[in-house]
Structure 1
Amino acid sequence: MSEQSAKAATAESGGAPAGDLFSKFDGIIQTRENLLSQGAEDPFGLVMEKVLSPTRAICNGRDTILLGTYNYMGMTFDPDVIAAGKEALEKYGSGTTGSRVLNGTYQGHVEVEAALREFYAMDHAMVFSTGYQANLGIISTIAGKGDYIVLDIDSHASIWDGCAMGNAEVVPFRHNDLEAMEKRLRRIPEGAGKLVVLEGVYSMLGDVAPLKEMVAIAKKYGAMVLVDEAHSMGFIGPNGRGVAEEQGVIDDVDFIIGTFSKSVGTVGGFCVSNHPKFEIMRLVCRPYVFTASLPPSVVATAATSIRKLIQGGDKRAHLWENSKRLHGGLKDLGFALGTDHPQSAIVAVIMPDLEHGAAMWEALLHEGLYVNLARPPATPAGMTLLRCSLCAEHSAEEVETILGMFERAGKAVGII
């Protein structure tokens, strides 16, 4: 194309060249510009200048209570966890520079997988560089062309991306709907490979899946079951193994996916399983084979944290107290919430629209409180949410302070 033709095409498209690959994002760009043009702070660009503890940080020069970090068990500043990371950094260096199947397996990787096997009382554990990669790798590898994946329509993006990468037939069903799930399974051709993918806690509304009934239906139709317990590991269940443990079906689940970036307090992902052929995944799972392994300091902190979570009963009890108090307090103030009663450490506050949500988010930040602003398409049913994730390190006094902040901000913005 000549320079003159290019200029003409650019002028016709309002400043972007013809065939601009970014044009698909114009709606999102405009929405963001509209929010920022009103003088609002960018809710998706917050910088934490200094992190003081699992529950507090300096944001915009202000001491801020953190209520949107998923640091459920508050392990990020645990002295034993930090000491383990420092020791590994000094002994093994800053990174592995290689895949697990080449030079990327250090003693720490073996130990963190042993800690996971102990935590879940399962035969096999496989660690990935992120939780996203765990879902991407496991789902895309075990369910391929000609197989069927039946999944909840509110599933996390990593689950959907794992389905797409594996090229299996994807059959979604209405959120937490047992009848709809069974109808989908009934229609799958007999003899076809079937995988049911569920989550213990759904991250947007903080609601829990009826896993006991769902697993029974899946097994009735000969399907394997994968449960993502990212938002329940560490505090739900008698031993913190998640919703599958709480509902008594952990031994009937074929694969459990989890992450280190929530209750464990670092970064990474994993899959645990009792399947006798599971170890072959280390050779056939592309997101595992072709990714550099986690740094030694990360796996050392993860292994230490996981072993401490085994003895985390007191922390689990306190986190539940925090969740019940925040949920009940916000409900009493008149806020619309994502669940009728507290089901997890996530409390979702429903906003009338994105504009009110952004205004409320900013008002809370000025009060000294950070929460997540969640918007479509990430949220179900086109909702805008202020998503609160509690921590076992939040004191009872901090929860009361948070309720006061919500009350003042809600009245100022006109939400309550």
Structure 2
Amino acid sequence: MSEGIRQPDRPQTLESESRDLFSKFDDLIAMREGLLASGQEDPFSLVMEEVLSPTRAICNGRDTILLGTYNYMGMTFDPDVVAAGKQALDDFGSGTTGSRVLNGTYQGHKACEDALREFYAMDHAMVFSTGYQANLGIISTIAGKGDYIVLDIDSHASIWDGCAMGKAEVVPFKHNDVEAMEKRLRRIPEGAGKLVVLEGVYSMLGDVAPLAEMVAVAKKHGAMVLVDEAHSMGFIGEHGRGVCEQAGVIDDVDFIVGTFSKSVGTVGGFCVSNHPKFEIMRLVCRPYVFTASLPPSVVATATTSIRKLMQGSNKRAHLWENSRRLHGGLRDLGFQLGTEEPQSAIVAVIMPDLERGAAMWEALLKEGLYVNLARPPATPANMTLLRCSLCAEHSAEEVETILGMFERAGKAVGII
């Protein structure tokens, strides 16, 4: 102990009076224990013992159709993608053991960023180790103390965490409400830095943002715009560039953030931009600077997948067919869905409550179908959802099989 610095006396009862730091999770612990006490399988601890293809796996000992993996374009078993990863593993080893700004940039990382620039036809691309880190890093770096972030209330956790890390003033608005967004922008002090953060497809309900109107409003008020296209890259838009492309605003958006863990079929994140000062982000973005870079085998698979997605029009068309058929079939069976019409590869089935949602999830798993059970607080309006993520590799016959499984499980549980 340093001389001259007196430590306060510690009360003898300190240990007994300390609050259990886990007590904040007591309600969630009770909910989980209640589900398991009923003899139900844990919907949040599913184990895949063997993955057979992009659409099938052995889950908890059962041959199971996968309808909850976000593997939208089915690239995880593409022969060229797998071969590229194996070759890079042989040539460069298992990892980089370093940050991108030190020893962690291999030729594969540069090739991956080249592929992204070509895919989006943009000047700059920056690859992160995860999609979460891409949002965390870009948002926290470009909008800091004294700046304002206007964002949709249903934004992903990585977006909210990026706002908190950067310490900007956060101004949320009602989901997909253009008028509410403009009201928030009007109230921001003149001269303040402004960033509007939107998502192309919102992952819970699978609904699409009205980007044409929103980007126009943001630009009218002098705000920069970031769009997270995690759930639309590869699938939506003429070239698979996402809702920005479909809405005709890709040249008006300042930053597009995405992930490799959905349509690209591996892991990692990225940001592309045409901003002339963007390259400075490599030196000032903490989640980029202070973490190890992706392994060479991972960036090799991502690069190969991205380049193949540029010629993915046939797969996109089939995925749309699957989405329309599943959405229409579930609606005709009497299920309540998250959107009136299919808007993406996500079809959300709304459950009456968590207990029946969990029962329906288990009934589907016993039928041989895996979907996501999504619950509050991750879901909007405290809904419980069964979230279905279609894949371009699902055959038309598999979609019909899935509809039969939903019908039998729904009737058994009393949902329909």
Give TM-score, length-normalised by structure 1: 0.97
Quick one: which amino acid aligns to residue 105 of structure 1? T
Q: Provide the rounded CA distance (Å) in 2 between the counterparts of 1:77 and 1:259.
A: 18
| Equivalent residue, structure 2, for 1:361 | 361
- Could you tell me the percent identity over the aligned residues? 87
Q: Provide the rounded CA distance (Å) in 1 between the counterparts of 2:27 and 2:132.
A: 26
Report Cα offsets for 1:172-198 as digits up to 9, x if no partner: 000000110000000001110000000
Secondary structure in 2 matching 1:151: strand
Moved runs in structure 1, 4+ residues, more than 2 A?
A: 4-7
Write the mapping of 1:308-323 to structure 2, written as runs, cut at 5 A.
308-323=308-323
Quick one: which amino acid aligns to residue 74 of structure 1? G
> Are positions 1:47 and 2:78 aligned together?
no
| Equivalent residue, structure 2, for 1:13 | none
Q: Provide the rounded CA distance (Å) in 2 between the counterparts of 1:285 and 1:59.
A: 39
Write the mapping of 1:2-401 to structure 2, written as runs, cut at 5 A.
9=16, 18-401=18-401
How many residues are treated as equivalent by the alignment?
Answer: 408
Quick one: which amino acid aligns to residue 76 of structure 1? T
Q: Provide the rounded CA distance (Å) in 1 between the counterparts of 2:376 and 2:46.
A: 19
Secondary structure in 2 matching 1:302: helix
CA apart distance, 1:6: 8.0
Q: Provide the rounded CA distance (Å) in 2 between the counterparts of 1:29 and 1:359.
A: 18
Report Cα offsets for 1:31-76 as digits up to 9, x if no partner: 0000000000000000000000000000121110000000000000
Report Cα offsets for 1:372-412 as digits up to 9, x if no partner: 00000000000000000000000000000000000000000
Quick one: which amino acid aligns to residue 265 of structure 1? G
Secondary structure in 2 matching 1:342: coil
Secondary structure in 1 matching 2:302: helix
Secondary structure in 1 matching 2:19: coil
Gaps of 5+ in 1: 10-16
Q: Provide the rounded CA distance (Å) in 1 between the counterparts of 2:302 and 2:120.
A: 15
Secondary structure in 1 matching 2:235: coil
Report Cα offsets for 1:140-171 as digits up to 9, x if no partner: 00000000000000000000000000000000
Q: Provide the rounded CA distance (Å) in 1 between the counterparts of 2:340 and 2:48.
A: 32
| Equivalent residue, structure 2, for 1:12 | none
Quick one: which amino acid aligns to residue 216 of structure 2? A
Q: Provide the rounded CA distance (Å) in 2 between the counterparts of 1:43 and 1:223.
A: 41
Quick one: which amino acid aligns to residue 61 of structure 2? G
Gaps of 5+ in 2: 1-8
| Equivalent residue, structure 2, for 1:14 | none
Secondary structure in 1 matching 2:206: coil
Secondary structure in 1 matching 2:151: strand
Quick one: which amino acid aligns to residue 160 of structure 1? W
| Equivalent residue, structure 1, for 2:6 | none
Secondary structure in 1 matching 2:294: coil
Q: Provide the rounded CA distance (Å) in 2 between the counterparts of 1:19 and 1:243.
A: 47
Secondary structure in 2 matching 1:251: coil
Report Cα offsets for 1:89-116 as digits up to 9, x if no partner: 0000000000000000000000000000
| Structural RMSD (CA) | 1.4
CA apart distance, 1:19: 1.1
